[in-house]
């Protein structure tokens, strides 16, 4: 049995992803304190919505999908109900494996996962790191569950803040670029709808090409950049304005902020 505690957007995305990848409704439990939301999830997916104690005691894997500020209270509440062999997976930002272990009795296996928002449409990127008592098999299981909403990579926990800065915050960087490109098109006389369609398809197509085995961003960029051409002129302006350095600094700033949040 798999339990998801927290029926927000990410919790629902995992629920829908698990059902879409072969799990049956009777293999899943959901805990959601908001009654209206709980009834909505039950009606939409047919899963049982139960109190936290039931999720903790009945499930072999418990996925914690609550807000970071609610995590400690939840851990203290379910600690006595977890089985000795229960796997606990947290997808809350900034919650370390050591914090999870501090509030759970015994040698409970915990996994810290950092998904990003494209998981909401099944195209997420999630990084996972295991705690002190987590074995490879348990990490494999956590990865298989999270793969229901996208790709998964296993990392050392010391790299999770970097993951947060690159893929956790990453969608916002692309939205920022898309917004800028759309506004440029509008300023040059295009309709907003046409500019958005051009930008959306361009970014999606470029991402698909980058995902091909063996593809490298430098090679792909050079293939578009003819000597003395329009792209060369554009790239020259980006370099002149220090865009590469700005992005590096932005990612470093996001990583440092992630570290601050993780340390409380």
The response to whether 102 counts as a known ligand-binding position is no
7 in a known ligand binding site: yes
60 annotated ligand binder: no
67 is in an annotated binding site: yes
d(CA 151, CA 207): 14
Is residue 15 within 8 Å of residue 38, measured between CB atoms?
A: no
DSSP state letters, 223-254 = HH--TTSHHHHHHHHHHHTTHHHHHHHHHHHH
10 is in an annotated binding site: yes
Compute the distance between CA of residue 96 and CA of residue 83 in angstroms, rounded to an integer: 21
- DSSP calls for 18-78: HHHTT--GGGEEEE-S-HHHHHHHHHHH--EE--HHHHHHH-SEEEE-S-GGGHHHHHHHH
The verdict on whether residue 214 carries a ligand-binding annotation is no
196 has binding-site annotation: no
Compute the distance between CA of residue 135 and CA of residue 141 in angstroms, rounded to an integer: 10
Has 6 been labeled as part of a binding site? yes
Known binding residues for NADP(+) are: 5-10, 65-68
């Amino acid at each position: 049995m798999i339990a998801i505690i927290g029926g927000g957007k990410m919790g629902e995305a995992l629920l829908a992803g698990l059902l879409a990848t072969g799990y049956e409704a009777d293999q899943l439990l959901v805990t959601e304190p908001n009654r209206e939301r709980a009834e909505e999830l039950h009606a939409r997916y047919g899963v049982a919505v139960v109190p936290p104690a039931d999720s903790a005691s009945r499930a072999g894997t418990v996925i914690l999908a609550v807000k970071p500020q609610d995590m400690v209270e939840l851990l203290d509440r379910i600690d006595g109900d977890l089985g000795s062999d229960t796997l606990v997976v947290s997808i809350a930002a900034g919650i370390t494996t050591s914090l999870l272990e501090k509030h759970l009795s015994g040698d409970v296996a915990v996994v810290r996962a950092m998904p990003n928002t494209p998981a909401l449409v099944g195209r997420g990127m999630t990084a996972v790191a295991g705690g002190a008592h987590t074995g490879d098999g348990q990490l494999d299981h956590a990865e298989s569950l999270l793969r229901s909403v996208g790709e998964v990579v296993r990392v050392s926990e010391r790299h999770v803040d970097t993951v947060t800065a690159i893929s956790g915050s990453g969608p916002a960087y692309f939205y920022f670029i898309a917004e800028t490109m759309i506004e440029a098109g509008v300023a040059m006389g295009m309709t907003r709808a046409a500019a958005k369609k051009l930008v959306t398809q361009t970014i999606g197509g470029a991402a698909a090409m980058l995902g091909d085995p063996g593809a490298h961003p430098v090679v792909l960029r050079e293939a578009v950049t003819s000597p003395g051409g329009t792209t060369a002129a554009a790239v020259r302006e980006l370099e002149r304005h220090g865009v590469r350095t700005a992005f590096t600094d932005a990612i470093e700033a996001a990583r440092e902020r992630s570290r601050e949040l993780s340390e409380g």
